[in-house]
Structure 1
Protein backbone atom coordinates (compact mmCIF):
# COMPACT_ATOMS: atom_id res chain seq x y z
CA UNK A 1 0.00 0.00 0.00
CA UNK A 2 1.25 3.49 -0.85
CA UNK A 3 2.54 5.70 1.96
CA UNK A 4 -0.15 8.33 2.62
CA UNK A 5 1.52 11.58 3.62
CA UNK A 6 0.01 14.48 5.55
CA UNK A 7 0.74 16.71 2.55
CA UNK A 8 -1.32 14.53 0.19
CA UNK A 9 -4.23 14.42 2.66
CA UNK A 10 -4.04 18.21 2.98
CA UNK A 11 -4.04 18.66 -0.80
CA UNK A 12 -7.05 16.36 -1.21
CA UNK A 13 -8.95 18.25 1.50
CA UNK A 14 -8.24 21.57 -0.21
CA UNK A 15 -9.30 20.24 -3.63
CA UNK A 16 -12.53 18.54 -2.51
CA UNK A 17 -13.64 20.05 0.80
CA UNK A 18 -14.04 16.54 2.25
CA UNK A 19 -13.15 15.66 5.86
CA UNK A 20 -9.61 14.70 6.85
CA UNK A 21 -10.38 11.06 7.69
CA UNK A 22 -12.42 10.65 4.50
CA UNK A 23 -9.50 12.04 2.48
CA UNK A 24 -7.08 9.67 4.20
CA UNK A 25 -9.33 6.70 3.47
CA UNK A 26 -9.84 7.80 -0.14
CA UNK A 27 -6.08 7.90 -0.71
CA UNK A 28 -5.59 4.55 1.02
CA UNK A 29 -8.32 2.94 -1.11
CA UNK A 30 -6.71 4.27 -4.30
CA UNK A 31 -3.02 3.57 -3.62
CA UNK A 32 -2.29 7.26 -3.06
CA UNK A 33 -3.48 8.35 -6.53
CA UNK A 34 -4.88 11.89 -6.19
CA UNK A 35 -7.29 11.93 -9.17
CA UNK A 36 -8.64 8.46 -8.34
CA UNK A 37 -9.16 9.57 -4.73
CA UNK A 38 -11.13 12.61 -5.94
CA UNK A 39 -13.38 10.32 -8.01
CA UNK A 40 -13.78 7.98 -5.03
CA UNK A 41 -14.93 10.84 -2.79
CA UNK A 42 -17.37 12.05 -5.46
CA UNK A 43 -18.79 8.55 -5.86
CA UNK A 44 -19.30 8.33 -2.10
CA UNK A 45 -20.91 11.76 -2.04
CA UNK A 46 -18.16 13.07 0.23
CA UNK A 47 -16.73 15.76 -2.03
CA UNK A 48 -18.05 19.19 -1.15
CA UNK A 49 -17.66 20.45 -4.71
CA UNK A 50 -16.34 18.41 -7.60
CA UNK A 51 -15.40 21.53 -9.54
CA UNK A 52 -12.84 22.43 -6.86
CA UNK A 53 -10.67 19.72 -8.38
CA UNK A 54 -10.03 22.10 -11.30
CA UNK A 55 -9.95 25.39 -9.49
CA UNK A 56 -7.90 28.19 -10.95
CA UNK A 57 -4.76 29.41 -9.27
CA UNK A 58 -2.68 31.55 -11.65
CA UNK A 59 -2.58 35.29 -12.23
CA UNK A 60 -2.37 37.39 -15.40
CA UNK A 61 -4.91 38.30 -18.08
CA UNK A 62 -7.06 36.91 -20.86
CA UNK A 63 -7.02 39.06 -24.01
CA UNK A 64 -9.83 39.06 -26.61
CA UNK A 65 -9.94 40.70 -30.03
CA UNK A 66 -12.23 40.45 -33.09
CA UNK A 67 -11.68 41.76 -36.60
CA UNK A 68 -14.29 41.08 -39.25
CA UNK A 69 -15.41 37.46 -39.03
CA UNK A 70 -12.37 36.29 -37.06
CA UNK A 71 -11.66 36.43 -33.33
CA UNK A 72 -8.82 35.42 -31.02
CA UNK A 73 -8.24 34.76 -27.32
CA UNK A 74 -4.89 34.56 -25.54
CA UNK A 75 -3.88 33.84 -21.96
CA UNK A 76 -0.73 35.42 -20.56
CA UNK A 77 0.21 34.42 -17.02
CA UNK A 78 2.10 36.32 -14.34
CA UNK A 79 3.10 35.55 -10.77
CA UNK A 80 0.88 38.17 -9.11
CA UNK A 81 -2.31 40.04 -9.82
CA UNK A 82 -0.36 43.27 -9.35
CA UNK A 83 1.42 42.69 -12.68
CA UNK A 84 -1.94 42.33 -14.47
CA UNK A 85 -2.51 46.02 -13.71
CA UNK A 86 0.80 47.04 -15.26
CA UNK A 87 0.52 49.02 -18.51
CA UNK A 88 3.47 47.19 -20.10
CA UNK A 89 1.89 43.81 -19.34
CA UNK A 90 -1.53 44.88 -20.60
CA UNK A 91 -0.06 46.24 -23.81
CA UNK A 92 1.70 42.92 -24.40
CA UNK A 93 -1.52 40.93 -23.94
CA UNK A 94 -3.37 43.19 -26.40
CA UNK A 95 -0.64 42.81 -29.02
CA UNK A 96 -0.41 39.05 -28.48
CA UNK A 97 -4.17 38.71 -29.09
CA UNK A 98 -3.90 40.84 -32.21
CA UNK A 99 -1.03 38.71 -33.54
CA UNK A 100 -2.98 35.52 -32.79
CA UNK A 101 -5.55 36.70 -35.34
CA UNK A 102 -2.82 36.46 -37.98
CA UNK A 103 -0.77 33.51 -36.74
CA UNK A 104 -3.40 31.21 -35.20
CA UNK A 105 -3.54 29.21 -31.98
CA UNK A 106 -0.10 27.54 -32.04
CA UNK A 107 1.73 29.14 -29.11
CA UNK A 108 5.18 28.25 -30.44
CA UNK A 109 4.41 29.89 -33.80
CA UNK A 110 2.92 32.88 -32.02
CA UNK A 111 6.03 33.23 -29.87
CA UNK A 112 8.18 33.29 -33.01
CA UNK A 113 6.03 35.95 -34.72
CA UNK A 114 7.38 39.46 -35.21
CA UNK A 115 6.35 41.83 -32.41
CA UNK A 116 5.48 45.46 -33.20
CA UNK A 117 8.60 47.58 -32.85
CA UNK A 118 11.09 44.77 -33.43
CA UNK A 119 12.05 41.30 -32.23
CA UNK A 120 9.75 38.34 -31.69
CA UNK A 121 6.85 37.92 -29.30
CA UNK A 122 8.96 35.66 -27.08
CA UNK A 123 11.84 38.15 -27.08
CA UNK A 124 9.47 40.94 -26.07
CA UNK A 125 8.10 38.75 -23.28
CA UNK A 126 11.63 38.06 -22.06
CA UNK A 127 12.35 41.79 -22.11
CA UNK A 128 9.19 42.46 -20.11
CA UNK A 129 10.23 39.91 -17.49
CA UNK A 130 13.48 41.83 -17.02
CA UNK A 131 11.69 45.18 -16.85
CA UNK A 132 8.86 44.15 -14.52
CA UNK A 133 10.93 41.77 -12.40
CA UNK A 134 8.39 38.94 -12.42
CA UNK A 135 8.08 35.76 -14.44
CA UNK A 136 5.46 35.75 -17.21
CA UNK A 137 4.41 33.25 -19.87
CA UNK A 138 2.28 33.10 -23.00
CA UNK A 139 0.25 30.03 -22.13
CA UNK A 140 -2.32 29.48 -24.89
CA UNK A 141 -4.27 30.99 -27.77
CA UNK A 142 -7.41 30.17 -29.74
CA UNK A 143 -8.98 31.49 -32.94
CA UNK A 144 -12.57 31.26 -34.24
CA UNK A 145 -13.72 32.23 -37.73
CA UNK A 146 -16.94 32.17 -39.77
CA UNK A 147 -17.45 32.54 -43.51
CA UNK A 148 -20.61 34.59 -43.06
CA UNK A 149 -21.96 35.82 -39.77
CA UNK A 150 -20.18 37.03 -36.67
CA UNK A 151 -17.63 36.08 -34.04
CA UNK A 152 -18.66 37.85 -30.85
CA UNK A 153 -16.33 38.42 -27.86
CA UNK A 154 -17.12 38.85 -24.18
CA UNK A 155 -14.68 39.54 -21.33
CA UNK A 156 -15.77 39.02 -17.73
CA UNK A 157 -14.16 40.87 -14.82
CA UNK A 158 -12.76 43.32 -17.35
CA UNK A 159 -9.83 45.38 -16.10
CA UNK A 160 -9.35 47.24 -19.41
CA UNK A 161 -11.05 47.01 -22.84
CA UNK A 162 -10.65 43.43 -24.10
CA UNK A 163 -8.69 42.29 -21.02
CA UNK A 164 -9.99 40.36 -18.02
CA UNK A 165 -10.17 37.11 -16.06
CA UNK A 166 -12.55 35.17 -18.34
CA UNK A 167 -12.69 35.54 -22.12
CA UNK A 168 -15.26 34.02 -24.48
CA UNK A 169 -15.72 33.90 -28.25
CA UNK A 170 -18.98 32.75 -29.84
CA UNK A 171 -19.27 31.97 -33.58
CA UNK A 172 -22.61 32.45 -35.33
CA UNK A 173 -23.07 31.44 -38.98
CA UNK A 174 -25.86 33.51 -40.52
CA UNK A 175 -26.91 36.13 -43.05
CA UNK A 176 -28.83 37.99 -40.32
CA UNK A 177 -27.97 41.67 -39.67
CA UNK A 178 -24.79 42.30 -37.68
CA UNK A 179 -26.72 44.06 -34.89
CA UNK A 180 -28.90 40.98 -34.38
CA UNK A 181 -25.93 38.59 -34.33
CA UNK A 182 -23.86 40.77 -32.02
CA UNK A 183 -26.65 41.01 -29.45
CA UNK A 184 -27.41 37.27 -29.58
CA UNK A 185 -23.71 36.44 -29.51
CA UNK A 186 -23.10 38.69 -26.52
CA UNK A 187 -25.90 37.03 -24.55
CA UNK A 188 -24.68 33.53 -25.40
CA UNK A 189 -21.08 34.50 -24.58
CA UNK A 190 -22.20 35.76 -21.18
CA UNK A 191 -23.99 32.43 -20.68
CA UNK A 192 -20.80 30.54 -21.62
CA UNK A 193 -18.78 32.60 -19.14
CA UNK A 194 -21.23 31.76 -16.34
CA UNK A 195 -22.25 28.18 -17.19
CA UNK A 196 -18.88 26.82 -18.42
CA UNK A 197 -20.11 24.29 -21.02
CA UNK A 198 -17.60 21.59 -21.90
CA UNK A 199 -18.67 21.13 -25.54
CA UNK A 200 -21.05 22.57 -28.12
CA UNK A 201 -23.25 19.45 -28.36
CA UNK A 202 -23.59 16.32 -26.21
CA UNK A 203 -21.95 14.16 -28.87
CA UNK A 204 -18.88 16.42 -28.75
CA UNK A 205 -18.11 15.64 -25.09
CA UNK A 206 -14.80 13.72 -24.82
CA UNK A 207 -15.26 9.95 -24.55
CA UNK A 208 -12.75 9.67 -21.69
CA UNK A 209 -14.75 12.24 -19.71
CA UNK A 210 -17.96 10.28 -20.30
CA UNK A 211 -16.30 7.05 -19.18
CA UNK A 212 -14.98 8.73 -16.06
CA UNK A 213 -18.46 10.00 -15.23
CA UNK A 214 -19.88 6.54 -15.97
CA UNK A 215 -17.54 5.02 -13.38
CA UNK A 216 -18.54 7.60 -10.78
CA UNK A 217 -22.26 7.13 -11.54
CA UNK A 218 -21.88 3.35 -11.30
CA UNK A 219 -20.28 3.55 -7.85
CA UNK A 220 -23.03 5.89 -6.65
CA UNK A 221 -25.76 3.63 -8.03
CA UNK A 222 -24.24 0.51 -6.43
CA UNK A 223 -24.37 2.23 -3.05
CA UNK A 224 -28.17 2.26 -3.37
CA UNK A 225 -28.30 -1.54 -3.07
CA UNK A 226 -30.82 -1.78 -5.91
CA UNK A 227 -30.90 -4.66 -8.46
CA UNK A 228 -28.41 -4.57 -11.36
CA UNK A 229 -31.02 -3.68 -13.99
CA UNK A 230 -32.10 -0.68 -11.90
CA UNK A 231 -28.48 0.29 -11.28
CA UNK A 232 -27.84 0.34 -15.05
CA UNK A 233 -30.88 2.56 -15.62
CA UNK A 234 -29.70 4.90 -12.87
CA UNK A 235 -26.27 5.12 -14.50
CA UNK A 236 -27.67 5.88 -17.95
CA UNK A 237 -30.01 8.46 -16.44
CA UNK A 238 -27.11 10.12 -14.66
CA UNK A 239 -25.04 10.22 -17.85
CA UNK A 240 -27.94 11.69 -19.82
CA UNK A 241 -28.23 14.45 -17.23
CA UNK A 242 -24.47 15.06 -17.32
CA UNK A 243 -24.49 15.38 -21.13
CA UNK A 244 -27.44 17.77 -21.06
CA UNK A 245 -25.94 19.98 -18.36
CA UNK A 246 -22.48 20.22 -19.95
CA UNK A 247 -23.28 20.74 -23.65
CA UNK A 248 -23.91 24.37 -24.61
CA UNK A 249 -26.88 23.72 -26.93
CA UNK A 250 -28.82 21.80 -24.26
CA UNK A 251 -27.90 23.93 -21.25
CA UNK A 252 -30.67 26.09 -19.82
CA UNK A 253 -30.11 29.73 -20.73
CA UNK A 254 -28.85 31.61 -17.66
CA UNK A 255 -31.17 34.55 -18.35
CA UNK A 256 -34.34 32.57 -17.61
CA UNK A 257 -33.03 29.17 -16.44
CA UNK A 258 -35.69 27.32 -18.44
CA UNK A 259 -35.02 27.69 -22.18
CA UNK A 260 -32.33 25.52 -23.82
CA UNK A 261 -29.70 27.59 -25.63
CA UNK A 262 -30.59 25.86 -28.92
CA UNK A 263 -34.15 27.23 -28.60
CA UNK A 264 -32.82 30.72 -27.83
CA UNK A 265 -30.90 30.62 -31.12
CA UNK A 266 -33.92 29.24 -33.02
CA UNK A 267 -36.14 32.01 -31.62
CA UNK A 268 -33.65 34.69 -32.69
CA UNK A 269 -33.50 33.15 -36.17
CA UNK A 270 -37.27 33.22 -36.45
CA UNK A 271 -37.38 36.89 -35.48
CA UNK A 272 -34.58 37.71 -37.93
CA UNK A 273 -36.33 35.84 -40.74
CA UNK A 274 -33.23 33.85 -41.63
CA UNK A 275 -31.24 30.90 -40.29
CA UNK A 276 -28.75 31.33 -37.45
CA UNK A 277 -26.40 28.50 -36.52
CA UNK A 278 -24.26 28.48 -33.38
CA UNK A 279 -21.20 26.69 -34.75
CA UNK A 280 -18.62 27.08 -32.00
CA UNK A 281 -17.32 28.78 -28.88
CA UNK A 282 -14.10 29.18 -26.92
CA UNK A 283 -13.87 29.93 -23.21
CA UNK A 284 -10.63 30.80 -21.42
CA UNK A 285 -10.62 31.24 -17.65
CA UNK A 286 -7.44 32.60 -16.18
CA UNK A 287 -5.26 29.86 -14.72
CA UNK A 288 -7.72 26.99 -15.16
CA UNK A 289 -5.91 23.69 -14.84
CA UNK A 290 -2.88 25.26 -13.14
CA UNK A 291 -2.30 24.51 -9.47
CA UNK A 292 -0.75 27.42 -7.66
CA UNK A 293 2.17 26.63 -5.37
CA UNK A 294 1.07 27.05 -1.76
CA UNK A 295 3.63 29.02 0.19
CA UNK A 296 4.03 28.33 3.92
CA UNK A 297 5.36 31.61 5.31
CA UNK A 298 6.00 30.21 8.78
CA UNK A 299 7.98 27.32 7.29
CA UNK A 300 10.00 29.77 5.17
CA UNK A 301 10.88 31.81 8.25
CA UNK A 302 11.84 28.68 10.18
CA UNK A 303 13.96 27.43 7.29
CA UNK A 304 15.69 30.78 6.99
CA UNK A 305 16.38 30.82 10.72
CA UNK A 306 17.78 27.30 10.53
CA UNK A 307 19.98 28.20 7.60
CA UNK A 308 21.52 31.05 9.58
CA UNK A 309 22.42 28.61 12.41
CA UNK A 310 21.51 31.36 14.87
CA UNK A 311 20.98 30.25 18.45
CA UNK A 312 17.84 31.46 20.26
CA UNK A 313 18.44 34.28 22.73
CA UNK A 314 17.62 33.37 26.32
Structure 2
Protein backbone atom coordinates (compact mmCIF):
# COMPACT_ATOMS: atom_id res chain seq x y z
CA UNK A 1 0.00 0.00 0.00
CA UNK A 2 1.25 3.51 -0.82
CA UNK A 3 2.04 5.57 2.28
CA UNK A 4 1.01 9.16 1.60
CA UNK A 5 2.21 12.34 3.27
CA UNK A 6 -1.31 12.86 4.59
CA UNK A 7 -1.26 9.48 6.35
CA UNK A 8 2.10 10.26 7.92
CA UNK A 9 0.81 13.63 9.12
CA UNK A 10 -2.33 12.03 10.60
CA UNK A 11 -0.28 9.51 12.55
CA UNK A 12 2.14 12.19 13.69
CA UNK A 13 -0.73 14.38 14.91
CA UNK A 14 -2.21 11.42 16.78
CA UNK A 15 1.00 10.34 18.49
CA UNK A 16 3.44 13.25 18.43
CA UNK A 17 6.12 10.90 17.04
CA UNK A 18 8.59 12.08 14.35
CA UNK A 19 7.73 11.78 10.66
CA UNK A 20 10.33 9.14 9.78
CA UNK A 21 9.17 6.86 12.59
CA UNK A 22 5.52 7.40 11.60
CA UNK A 23 6.32 6.53 7.99
CA UNK A 24 8.10 3.35 9.11
CA UNK A 25 5.20 2.39 11.37
CA UNK A 26 2.70 2.76 8.52
CA UNK A 27 4.93 0.75 6.19
CA UNK A 28 5.25 -2.03 8.77
CA UNK A 29 1.44 -2.19 9.26
CA UNK A 30 0.36 -1.81 5.64
CA UNK A 31 -1.08 1.63 6.27
CA UNK A 32 -3.45 0.61 9.07
CA UNK A 33 -3.65 3.66 11.36
CA UNK A 34 -4.61 1.89 14.60
CA UNK A 35 -2.08 -0.85 14.00
CA UNK A 36 0.58 1.79 13.33
CA UNK A 37 -0.24 3.49 16.63
CA UNK A 38 0.10 0.14 18.41
CA UNK A 39 3.39 -0.49 16.57
CA UNK A 40 4.75 2.79 17.90
CA UNK A 41 3.45 2.14 21.39
CA UNK A 42 5.06 -1.30 21.59
CA UNK A 43 8.40 0.32 20.84
CA UNK A 44 7.93 3.03 23.42
CA UNK A 45 7.85 5.82 20.83
CA UNK A 46 4.35 7.08 21.55
CA UNK A 47 5.23 7.24 25.24
CA UNK A 48 8.42 9.05 24.37
CA UNK A 49 6.49 11.70 22.46
CA UNK A 50 4.65 12.72 25.64
CA UNK A 51 8.00 13.64 27.16
CA UNK A 52 9.23 15.60 24.13
CA UNK A 53 8.19 19.01 25.49
CA UNK A 54 10.42 18.64 28.56
CA UNK A 55 13.72 20.50 28.40
CA UNK A 56 16.72 18.21 27.88
CA UNK A 57 19.83 20.27 28.63
CA UNK A 58 21.93 17.68 30.48
CA UNK A 59 23.46 14.54 29.00
CA UNK A 60 26.87 13.89 27.47
CA UNK A 61 29.23 15.02 24.74
CA UNK A 62 30.88 12.05 23.02
CA UNK A 63 34.00 11.84 20.84
CA UNK A 64 35.25 9.05 18.58
CA UNK A 65 38.40 8.98 16.42
CA UNK A 66 39.66 6.89 13.53
CA UNK A 67 42.99 7.70 11.92
CA UNK A 68 43.03 11.36 10.89
CA UNK A 69 39.28 11.78 11.38
CA UNK A 70 37.27 12.45 14.54
CA UNK A 71 33.63 13.11 15.32
CA UNK A 72 31.88 14.79 18.24
CA UNK A 73 28.22 14.47 19.22
CA UNK A 74 25.94 15.92 21.87
CA UNK A 75 23.13 13.76 23.22
CA UNK A 76 20.89 15.44 25.77
CA UNK A 77 18.86 14.18 28.70
CA UNK A 78 16.77 15.99 31.30
CA UNK A 79 18.97 15.29 34.31
CA UNK A 80 22.62 14.67 35.10
CA UNK A 81 21.50 11.49 36.87
CA UNK A 82 20.73 9.90 33.49
CA UNK A 83 24.14 10.99 32.18
CA UNK A 84 25.63 8.69 34.84
CA UNK A 85 23.46 5.79 33.66
CA UNK A 86 25.58 3.10 31.98
CA UNK A 87 22.94 2.40 29.33
CA UNK A 88 22.88 6.06 28.33
CA UNK A 89 26.69 6.22 28.26
CA UNK A 90 26.82 3.18 25.97
CA UNK A 91 24.28 4.78 23.62
CA UNK A 92 26.24 8.05 23.40
CA UNK A 93 29.52 6.21 22.83
CA UNK A 94 27.94 4.13 20.06
CA UNK A 95 26.39 7.19 18.41
CA UNK A 96 29.77 8.97 18.50
CA UNK A 97 31.36 6.04 16.67
CA UNK A 98 28.58 6.04 14.07
CA UNK A 99 29.09 9.79 13.62
CA UNK A 100 32.44 9.05 11.93
CA UNK A 101 30.37 8.00 8.91
CA UNK A 102 27.68 10.70 9.15
CA UNK A 103 30.00 13.50 7.95
CA UNK A 104 28.57 16.04 10.39
CA UNK A 105 24.95 15.52 9.25
CA UNK A 106 22.82 15.07 12.38
CA UNK A 107 19.72 14.06 10.40
CA UNK A 108 21.66 11.35 8.56
CA UNK A 109 23.13 10.18 11.86
CA UNK A 110 19.63 9.80 13.32
CA UNK A 111 18.64 7.52 10.44
CA UNK A 112 21.73 5.28 10.62
CA UNK A 113 21.29 1.68 11.74
CA UNK A 114 22.00 1.20 15.44
CA UNK A 115 24.36 -1.80 15.90
CA UNK A 116 22.90 -5.05 17.21
CA UNK A 117 19.28 -3.98 16.62
CA UNK A 118 16.82 -3.46 13.79
CA UNK A 119 16.42 0.16 14.93
CA UNK A 120 17.74 3.44 13.63
CA UNK A 121 19.60 5.69 16.05
CA UNK A 122 16.47 7.83 16.56
CA UNK A 123 14.30 4.76 17.24
CA UNK A 124 16.87 3.37 19.68
CA UNK A 125 16.85 6.70 21.53
CA UNK A 126 13.05 6.56 21.61
CA UNK A 127 13.14 3.11 23.18
CA UNK A 128 15.69 4.34 25.72
CA UNK A 129 13.33 7.19 26.62
CA UNK A 130 10.61 4.66 27.37
CA UNK A 131 12.94 2.55 29.52
CA UNK A 132 14.74 5.30 31.39
CA UNK A 133 11.75 7.65 31.64
CA UNK A 134 13.36 10.92 30.52
CA UNK A 135 13.30 12.98 27.36
CA UNK A 136 16.49 12.60 25.31
CA UNK A 137 17.58 13.89 21.95
CA UNK A 138 20.48 13.76 19.54
CA UNK A 139 21.21 17.47 19.26
CA UNK A 140 24.24 17.94 16.99
CA UNK A 141 27.39 16.45 15.50
CA UNK A 142 30.53 17.62 13.71
CA UNK A 143 33.28 15.81 11.80
CA UNK A 144 36.89 17.01 11.57
CA UNK A 145 39.51 15.51 9.27
CA UNK A 146 42.98 16.22 7.84
CA UNK A 147 44.81 14.69 4.89
CA UNK A 148 48.25 14.70 6.56
CA UNK A 149 48.57 15.54 10.24
CA UNK A 150 46.49 14.79 13.33
CA UNK A 151 43.04 15.46 14.73
CA UNK A 152 43.51 15.60 18.48
CA UNK A 153 40.69 15.51 21.04
CA UNK A 154 40.09 16.40 24.66
CA UNK A 155 37.11 15.72 26.92
CA UNK A 156 36.62 17.82 30.02
CA UNK A 157 34.80 16.43 33.08
CA UNK A 158 35.06 12.96 31.54
CA UNK A 159 32.87 10.22 33.02
CA UNK A 160 34.41 7.62 30.71
CA UNK A 161 36.92 7.67 27.87
CA UNK A 162 35.50 9.94 25.17
CA UNK A 163 32.43 11.00 27.20
CA UNK A 164 32.05 14.17 29.26
CA UNK A 165 30.67 17.70 29.55
CA UNK A 166 32.92 19.52 27.05
CA UNK A 167 34.40 17.97 23.92
CA UNK A 168 37.13 19.53 21.77
CA UNK A 169 38.55 18.54 18.37
CA UNK A 170 41.64 20.23 16.93
CA UNK A 171 42.92 19.68 13.39
CA UNK A 172 46.64 20.23 12.71
CA UNK A 173 48.10 19.69 9.26
CA UNK A 174 51.81 18.87 9.03
CA UNK A 175 54.16 16.39 7.42
CA UNK A 176 56.26 16.35 10.61
CA UNK A 177 56.53 14.02 13.59
CA UNK A 178 53.02 12.87 14.49
CA UNK A 179 53.71 12.14 18.16
CA UNK A 180 55.01 15.68 18.74
CA UNK A 181 52.14 17.09 16.68
CA UNK A 182 49.64 15.11 18.76
CA UNK A 183 51.14 16.46 22.00
CA UNK A 184 50.70 20.02 20.71
CA UNK A 185 47.13 19.24 19.61
CA UNK A 186 46.25 17.96 23.08
CA UNK A 187 47.56 21.17 24.67
CA UNK A 188 45.63 23.31 22.17
CA UNK A 189 42.46 21.33 22.86
CA UNK A 190 42.83 21.93 26.59
CA UNK A 191 43.42 25.63 25.91
CA UNK A 192 40.23 25.80 23.80
CA UNK A 193 38.24 24.06 26.53
CA UNK A 194 39.39 26.74 28.99
CA UNK A 195 39.09 29.89 26.85
CA UNK A 196 36.21 29.14 24.43
CA UNK A 197 37.48 31.13 21.43
CA UNK A 198 34.93 32.11 18.76
CA UNK A 199 37.21 31.49 15.77
CA UNK A 200 40.80 30.79 14.70
CA UNK A 201 41.47 34.40 13.62
CA UNK A 202 39.52 37.64 13.01
CA UNK A 203 38.84 36.79 9.36
CA UNK A 204 36.86 33.72 10.47
CA UNK A 205 34.62 35.64 12.87
CA UNK A 206 30.97 36.21 12.07
CA UNK A 207 31.09 39.74 10.68
CA UNK A 208 27.66 40.50 12.10
CA UNK A 209 29.08 39.83 15.57
CA UNK A 210 32.11 42.01 14.81
CA UNK A 211 29.92 44.88 13.58
CA UNK A 212 27.71 44.68 16.67
CA UNK A 213 30.73 44.72 18.99
CA UNK A 214 32.21 47.71 17.18
CA UNK A 215 28.90 49.61 17.37
CA UNK A 216 28.69 48.98 21.13
CA UNK A 217 32.26 50.17 21.70
CA UNK A 218 31.66 53.25 19.51
CA UNK A 219 28.64 54.25 21.57
CA UNK A 220 30.64 53.82 24.78
CA UNK A 221 33.44 56.00 23.44
CA UNK A 222 31.05 58.71 22.19
CA UNK A 223 29.66 59.08 25.70
CA UNK A 224 33.14 59.98 26.90
CA UNK A 225 32.97 63.23 24.89
CA UNK A 226 36.15 62.58 22.91
CA UNK A 227 36.63 64.07 19.43
CA UNK A 228 35.69 61.94 16.43
CA UNK A 229 39.35 61.33 15.53
CA UNK A 230 40.33 60.23 19.04
CA UNK A 231 37.13 58.20 19.39
CA UNK A 232 37.96 56.26 16.22
CA UNK A 233 41.45 55.45 17.50
CA UNK A 234 39.99 54.30 20.82
CA UNK A 235 37.52 52.05 19.02
CA UNK A 236 40.32 50.51 16.93
CA UNK A 237 42.34 49.85 20.08
CA UNK A 238 39.45 48.21 21.89
CA UNK A 239 38.62 46.10 18.84
CA UNK A 240 42.21 44.81 18.77
CA UNK A 241 41.79 43.82 22.41
CA UNK A 242 38.46 42.15 21.53
CA UNK A 243 40.12 40.08 18.80
CA UNK A 244 42.85 39.04 21.25
CA UNK A 245 40.19 37.83 23.65
CA UNK A 246 37.99 35.85 21.24
CA UNK A 247 40.25 34.55 18.43
CA UNK A 248 42.38 31.49 19.14
CA UNK A 249 45.67 32.44 17.51
CA UNK A 250 45.75 35.82 19.28
CA UNK A 251 44.99 34.44 22.74
CA UNK A 252 47.65 33.91 25.38
CA UNK A 253 48.44 30.20 25.59
CA UNK A 254 47.12 28.93 28.94
CA UNK A 255 49.80 26.24 29.09
CA UNK A 256 52.57 28.78 29.80
CA UNK A 257 50.54 31.97 30.42
CA UNK A 258 52.91 34.05 28.28
CA UNK A 259 53.13 32.98 24.65
CA UNK A 260 50.49 33.80 22.06
CA UNK A 261 48.93 30.66 20.58
CA UNK A 262 50.21 31.50 17.08
CA UNK A 263 53.75 31.76 18.48
CA UNK A 264 53.38 28.52 20.44
CA UNK A 265 52.45 26.74 17.20
CA UNK A 266 55.39 28.34 15.38
CA UNK A 267 57.79 27.34 18.16
CA UNK A 268 56.50 23.74 18.04
CA UNK A 269 57.57 23.47 14.39
CA UNK A 270 61.16 22.96 15.60
CA UNK A 271 60.14 19.86 17.55
CA UNK A 272 57.74 18.58 14.90
CA UNK A 273 60.30 19.17 12.15
CA UNK A 274 57.93 20.76 9.63
CA UNK A 275 55.47 23.67 9.24
CA UNK A 276 52.19 23.34 11.18
CA UNK A 277 48.82 24.72 10.15
CA UNK A 278 45.86 24.82 12.52
CA UNK A 279 43.00 24.27 10.08
CA UNK A 280 39.97 23.87 12.35
CA UNK A 281 38.67 23.37 15.85
CA UNK A 282 35.28 22.35 17.26
CA UNK A 283 34.14 22.92 20.83
CA UNK A 284 30.92 21.34 22.13
CA UNK A 285 29.88 22.38 25.63
CA UNK A 286 26.95 20.43 26.99
CA UNK A 287 23.66 22.34 26.90
CA UNK A 288 25.10 25.60 25.53
CA UNK A 289 22.35 27.66 23.91
CA UNK A 290 19.53 25.62 25.44
CA UNK A 291 17.19 27.72 27.52
CA UNK A 292 16.85 26.05 30.89
CA UNK A 293 13.81 26.69 33.02
CA UNK A 294 14.86 27.68 36.53
CA UNK A 295 12.48 26.37 39.17
CA UNK A 296 12.06 27.02 42.87
CA UNK A 297 11.79 23.50 44.26
CA UNK A 298 10.64 24.64 47.72
CA UNK A 299 7.88 26.72 46.12
CA UNK A 300 6.77 23.75 44.01
CA UNK A 301 6.52 21.53 47.08
CA UNK A 302 4.63 24.21 49.00
CA UNK A 303 2.23 24.72 46.10
CA UNK A 304 1.58 20.99 45.84
CA UNK A 305 0.88 20.81 49.57
CA UNK A 306 -1.36 23.87 49.41
CA UNK A 307 0.93 25.88 51.66
CA UNK A 308 1.65 29.54 50.99
CA UNK A 309 5.33 30.32 50.97
1:198 matched to which residue of 2? 198
What TM-score results when the alignment is normalised by the length of structure 2? 0.78
Task: Write the deviation string for residues 249-280 of structure 1: whole angstroms up to 9, x where unpaired.
Answer: 11110012221111111111122221111111
Matching residue of 1:38: none
Partner of 2:222 in structure 1?
222
Cα deviation code 1:279-305 (max 9, x no counterpart) = 111001111111211113344345545
Greater RCO, 1 or 2 (C-alpha within 8 Å, sep 6+)? 1
**Residues 78-157 of structure 1: matches in 2 within 5 Å?**
78-118=77-117, 119-157=119-157
Please give the secondary structure, in 2, of the residue aligned with 1:193. Answer: helix
1:295 partnered with 2:295 = yes
Residues 273, 178 of structure 1: alpha-carbon distance in 2 compared, 3 angstrom cutoff: closer
Residue in 2 that maps onto 1:259: 259
C-alpha deviations, 1:196-250, integer Å up to 9, x for none?
1100111101011101111211122122221122112111211121112211111
- CA distance in structure 1 between the aligned counterparts of 2:167 and 2:145, rounded to whole angstroms: 16
Measured against aligned partners, the alpha-carbon deviations of 1:159-218 in whole angstroms (never above 9, x if no partner) come to: 111101110000010111221111010001000100111001111010111011112111
In structure 1, the partner of 2:169 is 169
Instruction: Indicate the residue corresponding to 1:213 in structure 2.
Output: 213
Count of matched residue positions in the alignment of Structure 1 and Structure 2: 252
1:34 aligns to what? none
**TM-score, structure 1 normalization:** 0.77
Moved more, 232-241 or 145-154: 232-241
- Conservation of the 8 A alpha-carbon contact between 1:214 and 1:235: yes
Gapped regions of structure 1 (runs ≥ 5): 1-56
* 1:6-64 Cα shifts (integer Å, max 9, x gaps): xxxxxxxxxxxxxxxxxxxxxxxxxxxxxxxxxxxxxxxxxxxxxxxxxxx92111101
Counterpart Cα distance in 1 of 2:101 and 2:66: 10
Question: Given that residues 205 and 243 in structure 1 are in contact (C-alpha distance below 8 angstroms), is that contact kept between their aligned partners in structure 2?
Answer: no
Aligned-residue RMSD, C-alpha: 1.7
CA contact (8 A) 1:166 1:193 kept: yes
Asked if 2 retains the 8 angstrom alpha-carbon contact of 1:62 and 1:167, the reply is yes
Question: 3-state SS of the aligned residue for 1:217?
Answer: helix
Query: Which residue of structure 1 lines up, in the alignment, with residue 46 of structure 2?
Result: none
